[in-house]
Amino acid sequence: MRACIELTFRRKGLLIQLLVFAAILSGCRKEEETNTTLYSPGLIPSNEGMHDFGEIGQMEDMEHAFSLTNVSEQSIRVTGVDASCRCMWNEKNEETLAGTLIAPQEKIGIPIKMNTSTRQDDISGKVLITYRRILENEEEGPPENLVLNIKAYVIPDYRITPAVVDFGTIDGLTHGEVRRVITIAPETVESVAIHNATASREAVSVEILCETSVDRTAPCEIEVVLDVSSYQESVTLQGAIHIDVDSEPMPRALIPFRAEYIAPLEYQPDSIVIGSDIKGDVSKEITIISSCPSQIIAIHGERELGVVAEYSDENREKNHTIQLTIPPCSDEAIDEVLELEIMLFPVVGEEQLRTLSVPVYRFL
């Protein structure tokens, strides 16, 4: 009798295990079917999503029509179209394409245009197509992406070297000016004449080192000088050099420039502002941080403001603190500048005297 009971329990246990295994297997098959639905191909582009325009000139428009085919069993809704740069666009803009419904096996066309602008050598771009599948319950599936790629090789009338003027990282302790040279040489034309060259920032000066407005078959050099002596704070500099030439497709060239300036002195705050709601004497603090040992030599303008400044003018440190006591306004608001003379003592090189200008404002 006992043996029968044990056998019955074993059979029931085996049956339960078989049922659990069958449920797991069924769930795996459903998950596999779901994954197959979601991750099977959706939109397939023509030419594997790549088009090469080959060699082309500057300031020219290029156009290519990609076709997208819905190879899935569900309808697909386009939800977004984004280009990687402003030099690219499509005839059907994003607002028109967004919401477009593509039936199974249906094909649509997307004309993509690109302008070579002032680029030289390689140019490329991408168009990102975002879409969702319409599932059986009329709900939309997760977002999926498709990338279209286009490229070309731009042959310029004249070649500019370098294409970007990089002044690099400038240590304000060791550099006041940084110089670079741009070379312009005819490429597909016999000669080129340079008329003028300017910079988008006052700190950058440009000088043409060859005769202007004269056709030249030989390369011409242009010197670009960045003067960082007027900068009090660390800053990232960006801008462009504008060069006017006699080229019909590209009469003006734009050469970007960039620099990272590291100031030897930093101070906080960059200005002192006291509102009209604050009465009586006001205490403020200026913190100075230097990249090498430094010493406060003098503060100018405090007498005119009636400001009392407390600081140590004997210590050579990298950090200094100036305590200011600013009196209330009498008849006029305060709009002045405190000038802080700081002597720098670099490890290598001579001592350097720098002046920091700190604006002070106090309203009536």
Q: How far is the C-alpha of 28 from the C-alpha of 104, rounded, in Å?
A: 27
> Which of 247, 262, 277 marks a domain boundary?
262
Let me know: does 242 contact 160? Beta carbons within 8 Å.
Answer: no
| Residue 131 in this model has a pLDDT that exceeds 90 | yes
Strand (E) or helix (H) holding 94: helix 94-97
In a domain, 35, yes or no: no
> Which of 212, 235, 262 marks a domain boundary?
262
User: What per-residue confidence (pLDDT) applies to 85?
Assistant: 77
| Residue 28 in this model has a pLDDT that exceeds 60 | no
| Residue 174 in this model has a pLDDT that exceeds 90 | no
Let me know: does 159 contact 187? Beta carbons within 8 Å.
Answer: yes
- Do 170 and 127 belong together in one domain? no
Only one residue has tokens 């800053």, namely: 235
| Residue 14 in this model has a pLDDT that exceeds 70 | no
Let me know: does 93 contact 83? Beta carbons within 8 Å.
Answer: no
User: What per-residue confidence (pLDDT) applies to 3?
Assistant: 43
Average confidence score pLDDT of the chain: 84
- Do 139 and 162 belong together in one domain? no
Per-residue model confidence as pLDDT tens digits over 54-103: 998 888 888 898 999 999 999 999 998 888 877 776 555 555 677 889 99
In a domain, 17, yes or no: no
User: What per-residue confidence (pLDDT) applies to 89?
Assistant: 67
| Residue 318 in this model has a pLDDT that exceeds 90 | yes
84: left (phi over 0), alpha (psi -120 to 50) or beta: alpha
At 341, which CATH number? 2.60.40.10
Kindly write down the DSSP assignment for every residue of 166-235, as one continuous string: EEEEEETTT-SEEEEEEEEEESSSS-B-EEEEEESSTTEEEEE-S-TTS-BSS-EEEEEEEE-TT--S-E
| Residue 178 in this model has a pLDDT that exceeds 50 | yes
Q: How far is the C-alpha of 272 from the C-alpha of 357, rounded, in Å?
A: 11
- Do 61 and 144 belong together in one domain? yes
Only one residue has tokens 């597909």, namely: 188
Tell me the longest C-alpha to C-alpha distance in the chain: 118
Q: How far is the C-alpha of 124 from the C-alpha of 119, rounded, in Å?
A: 10
Tokens for 161?
């070297």
Let me know: does 256 contact 164? Beta carbons within 8 Å.
Answer: yes
pLDDT classification of 133: cutoffs 50, 70, 90:
very high
| Residue 280 in this model has a pLDDT that exceeds 60 | yes
Only one residue has tokens 């639905």, namely: 37
Kindly write down the DSSP assignment for every residue of 230-254, as one continuous string: T--S-EEEEEEEEEEES-SS-SEEE
| Residue 2 in this model has a pLDDT that exceeds 70 | no
Let me know: does 264 contact 291? Beta carbons within 8 Å.
Answer: yes
User: What per-residue confidence (pLDDT) applies to 8?
Assistant: 43
Averaged pLDDT for residues 208-219: 90
| Residue 315 in this model has a pLDDT that exceeds 90 | no
User: What per-residue confidence (pLDDT) applies to 90?
Assistant: 59
> Which of 227, 262, 297 marks a domain boundary?
262
- Do 47 and 129 belong together in one domain? yes
Per-residue model confidence as pLDDT tens digits over 325-353: 988 876 778 888 999 999 999 988 899 99
Per-residue model confidence as pLDDT tens digits over 233-278: 899 999 999 999 988 778 888 899 999 999 999 999 999 999 988 8
In a domain, 218, yes or no: yes
Let me know: does 226 contact 259? Beta carbons within 8 Å.
Answer: yes
User: What per-residue confidence (pLDDT) applies to 112?
Assistant: 85
User: What per-residue confidence (pLDDT) applies to 20?
Assistant: 45
Pick the range with the lowest mean pLDDT from 106-110, 205-209, 256-260: 106-110
Only one residue has tokens 């004249």, namely: 158
Let me know: does 90 contact 112? Beta carbons within 8 Å.
Answer: yes
| Residue 170 in this model has a pLDDT that exceeds 60 | yes
Q: SS3 letters for 279-309?
A: CCCEEEEEEEEEEEEEEEEEEECHHHHCCEE
Paired strand residues for 62: 114
pLDDT classification of 160: cutoffs 50, 70, 90:
very high
User: What per-residue confidence (pLDDT) applies to 183?
Assistant: 95
Q: Could you tell me the sign of the dihedral formed by the alpha carbons of 6, 8, 11, 15, in that order?
A: negative
Phi, psi of 187 (to 5 degrees): -120, -70
Strand 144-154 to 50-56 pairing: parallel
In a domain, 37, yes or no: no
User: What per-residue confidence (pLDDT) applies to 182?
Assistant: 96
| Residue 39 in this model has a pLDDT that exceeds 60 | no
User: What per-residue confidence (pLDDT) applies to 99?
Assistant: 81
Number of domains in the chain: 3
User: What per-residue confidence (pLDDT) applies to 10?
Assistant: 47
Q: How far is the C-alpha of 129 from the C-alpha of 122, rounded, in Å?
A: 24
In a domain, 13, yes or no: no
User: What per-residue confidence (pLDDT) applies to 96?
Assistant: 64
| Residue 118 in this model has a pLDDT that exceeds 80 | no
- Do 256 and 273 belong together in one domain? no
Q: Which domain holds residue 77?
A: 43-154
What percent of the chain is modeled with pLDDT above 90? Answer: 48
Rg, the chain, Cα only? 35
